[in-house]
Structure 1
Amino acid sequence: MGGVVSAPKAPPPQMVLVPPLFDFPPLAARNRMLEPSYNLLFGKLALRSLFEDYFDAANHFSSILMLKPIDDRHVDLIATVSGPLDNKPDETIVGNALFRWKSDADDPHTFTDLYVSSSDPILLMRACAYYPRFGLGAFGIFPVLKKERVSAEDYGTMGLRYGTPNLSVGATFVPYTLGDDFPKSAWLVTKMGRLTAGVKYDPQFEKKDGAKYKNLKNWNGSIGYGLGSGSPLSPSFNFGLEYAQNSQFIASFFQHVVVQRKVNNPFEENEVIGITNYIDFGFELLTRMDDKKGTNNIQDSTFNIAASWQANKNILLKGKVGPLSSALSFSFKSWWKPSFSFSVSAIRDRAIGKTSFGFGLRVDNVREASYQRADPNFVMLTPSKAHLAEGIQWKSGKRPMMQSDVNSGNFDGVPRELRPLGKLL
């Protein structure tokens, strides 16, 4: 009897690795329901992360510990310790800790937390509740222990907000305070397609014609144009113009780029031919426009340019340039549970012509890795001639998902950490 000849196995499809982002969502997004939407839109949240994260202060160290229990996803703890590298008499080591409880582990909008610090305020309580069915939310910030209470604001601040996918309106106020000190701030932001426009009332300056709202310095206005879904898996672009305090003009843009490059790693499998990289660019220009004669110094007009490149799941390179200083940052991350990351920053001060260094250490299991570098259940296939499977672009668990789904805004099959920050302003 003749032997049975089995058909040759088809080679596995060629893959492009999709590494997890270093930090997504950014830590600042955890508190977005506690402050006006005006402060976070128009690319401000992305620019803040680009210009600040992993840039440690010159001659300083910082450490962040972000942990949550394995058996209880409703609570987490973030502790920070920072201070000078040398023993300066006017600087001390500062420690902070934030304990947060959420009624729904998957709802970032409703929570209560306690903040303790070695500086003032010593104990701070914050609470936020949001009801998406009605679009209504309320929040409060109350200093429980404070060394000195000078103003009414030292006793607490409360706020109300209303949010939909195309509108955000709200106000903050100090209890028992009326008159010109009410409200403490207010905002209105609306979205029309790719355009976002907003106005913010922030009465920091004196009265004019008997009322603070008549002083144009207490009003800020912005308009922005944005492309993209807000998920780091998709490219995005945001351009914004802001006129602030009747004296400052601010222009900014932020761009998130998703690119692919070849893999030259002998430890990878043969079917792995490429890897996805994430590149961010940011620019911010501030120009004074008041009636006072300019002195042509750096305070009248300033700018900042920054860029970051995540080469793989372990390495992040960042750099920024400004008129007073420039900085470079190198970060390495190990994706254990919890994950560990170490960063070193080199800061060049042009005023004194000196280069200084800063160091940072972070431990994190609050923001879990959304997928692993070699996980076959979440791979990206590039539609090129080298690929055998041209239709399917993504796989998440057992449910295949098309690239067109991501482009159309359907993120049901995407890990929660990689979805856009929210469907509301």
Structure 2
Amino acid sequence: MGNWVNKEPPPPMVLVPPLFDFPPLAARTRMLESSYNLLFGKLALKCLFEDYFEEARHFSTRIMLKPIDDPHVDLIATVSCPVDYKPEEKIVGNALFRWQSDLDDSHTFMDLFVSNSDRILQMRSSAYYPKYGLGAFGIFPLLLKKRVSSEDYGVLGLRYGSGNLSFGATFMPLSLKDECPKSAWLVSKMGRLTAGVQYEPEYGIKDGAKYKNLRNWSCAIGYGVGSSSPLSPSFNFGLELNKSSQFIASFYQHVVVQRRVKNPLEEDEIVGITNYIDFGFELKTRVDDAKISNDIPESTLQVAASWQANKNLLLKGKVGPLSSTVSLAFKSWWKPSFTFNISGAYSRLIVMD
């Protein structure tokens, strides 16, 4: 007689889909930015408030090409125009060619940006050495219709970064009329607290007067919990005094949840799926005299949330003082992959007495 072997059923499993955009396109050029402008949850909030929210009655398409023979390079082409196109309106098109030294490290790269509007041709480059924490970067407009500002002649930057400290400065080497530096920043992390200060001289004539003018300084403090991995929940809360004229309070939370599913296309042992939920708000309040800076609104608040139901569907929405927007995105993971999204906006008219 043979022995009957009872085969145990496979254990229940929960699907963990990849994120829609990780890392986001904005993170590929983070070494060209001040660390002060990226920490305190600013990069995550920027992606939450801007990605997949198109301008009303506008159509845009983006194509990313990456050759199989050389994955170190890629090309992103973008075209946008109004839906009800008129001959006097312009179709905006641009292309970005990028070379990256290491596939797993986006900090060292060079790219060329071409557009049918200003800036017509621009080169950007960054080199970062993680062993020493030192880096250098530059932005050089090569072809412009007209050079008006000092930045049109190029910007160079130096930086140092480690797990707990980041500082750096930017300069305009080909412009003699502006004093150095163009900007400088210092950010330090102590446990879950992050504090930073940034100097951007815009007010004052003499060098000493610029350093003493508080409107050229910004400071921020933030509290963060969680890891940088998108598969883990995270929480960020920040307070900022921007140029002594605007107070900003922001909050961002990334939540990873699991829900039960019964999908006939999946195996029987698949009992659940992981979802990603993001929520954020940003409150900006004016704290200086309205006569000093008229370009700053008195107070504004925007709230946004997103829900990634699976690897193919993403639902986003945001509410502001003047409009509300909802966006639905679909992404295929075939080769070549593509993403399609549609957004709708509702605007509110505010009458001032």
TM-score range, shorter chain: over 0.9
Q: Give distance in 1, aligned partners of 2:303 and 2:112.
A: 35
- The answer to whether the 8 A contact 1:55-1:329 is kept is yes
User: Paired residue for 1:165, among 160, 163, 166?
Assistant: 163
SS in 2 for 1:71: coil
Q: Which residue of 2 aligns with 1:256?
A: 254
Structure 1 residues 211, 293: CA separation in 2 closer, same or farther (over 3 Å shift)? Answer: closer
CA change 1:352–1:95 in 2 (3 A) is farther
Q: How many Å apart are 1:313 and its aligned residue?
A: 1.0
Task: Report the Cα distance in structure 2 between the residues aligned to 1:156 and 1:337, rounded to whole angstroms.
Answer: 38
Matching residue of 2:188:
190
Other-structure match for 1:370: none
Cα distance between partner residues in 2 of 1:244 and 1:211: 19
Task: Report the equivalent of 2:152.
Answer: 154
The equivalent of 2:217 in structure 1 is 219
Counterpart of 1:331 (choices 321, 324, 329) is 329
- 8 Å contact from structure 2 (residues 18, 311) kept in 1: yes
RMSD across aligned positions (CA) = 1.9
- Note if 1:310 corresponds to 2:308: yes
Residue 115 (structure 1) aligns with: 113
Q: Report how far residue 89 of structure 1 moved.
A: 5.5
Asked whether the equivalents of residues 207 and 215 of structure 1 are also in contact (C-alpha less than 8 Å), the reply is no
Query: Equivalent residue for 2:80?
Result: 82
CA distance in 1: counterparts of 2:99 and 2:71, whole angstroms? 9
Counterpart of 2:265 in structure 1: which amino acid? Answer: F
How far the C-alpha of 1:81 sits from its partner, in A, is 0.8
Q: Structure 1 or 2: larger strand share?
A: 2
**1:382 alignment partner in structure 2:** none
Structure 2's unaligned 5+ residue stretches are none
Q: How far 1:108 sits from its partner (Å)?
A: 0.8
Distance 1:350 1:277 in 2: 32
Could you tell me how far 1:352 is from its partner in structure 2?
8.0
**Structure 2 SS opposite 1:102:** strand
TM-score, normalised to structure 2, is: 0.94
User: In 2 relative to 1, CA 66–217 (structure 1 residues): closer, same or farther, beyond 3 Å?
Assistant: same
CA contact (8 A) 1:207 1:213 kept: no
Change (3 A) 1:209 1:38: closer
- Per-residue CA deviations over 1:204-246 (Å, capped at 9, x if unaligned) read 2334796212211111111000011111100000000000011
Q: 1:306, CA displacement in angstroms?
A: 0.4
Is structure 2 residue 280 aligned with structure 1 residue 287?
no
The match for 1:95 is 93
| 1:416 match | none
Q: 1:87 to 1:177 in 2, by over 3 A?
A: closer
Runs of 4+ in structure 1 deviating by more than 4 angstroms, as ranges, are: 176-180
Higher RCO structure, 1 or 2 (CA under 8 Å, sep 6+): 1
Asked whether the equivalents of residues 37 and 189 of structure 1 are also in contact (C-alpha less than 8 Å), the reply is: yes
Residues 154 and 174 in structure 2, CA contact (< 8 A), matched pair in contact too: no
Match 1:346 to one of 324, 344, 347: 344
Q: Give 1:336-415 correspondences, 5 Å limit.
A: 336-351=334-349
SS at match of 1:103: strand
Q: 1:352 to 1:289 in 2, by over 3 A?
A: closer
Q: Which residue of 2 aligns with 1:408?
A: none
Contact 2:153 2:174 in 1 (8 A): no
Instruction: Give distance in 1, aligned partners of 2:107 and 2:207.
Output: 40
SS at match of 1:331: strand
Query: Which letter does structure 2 place at the counterpart of 1:196?
Result: T
Change in CA separation of 1:179 and 1:213 when aligned onto 2, cut-off 3 Å: farther
Give the Cα–Cα distance (whole angstroms) in 2 for the partners of residues 88 and 238 of structure 1. 44
* Aligned 8 A contact 2:36 2:186 in 1: yes
Amino acid at match of 1:15: M
Letter in 2 for 1:223: I
SS at match of 2:102: coil
Q: Given residue 328 of structure 1, which amino acid in structure 2 is its aligned partner?
A: V
Deviation of 1:7 (Å): 1.4
Question: Alignment identity in percent?
Answer: 72
Counterpart among 43, 46, 49 of residue 45 in structure 1: 43
Structure 1 contact 111–129 (Cα < 8 Å) conserved: yes
Q: Secondary structure at the match of 1:51?
A: helix
Deviation at 1:180, TM superposition (A): 5.8
CA shift, 1:351, in A, is 1.2
Letter in 2 for 1:201: Y
Greater shift, 140-149 or 81-90, is seen at 81-90
Shift in Å at residue 203 of structure 1? 1.4
Structure 2 SS opposite 1:101: strand
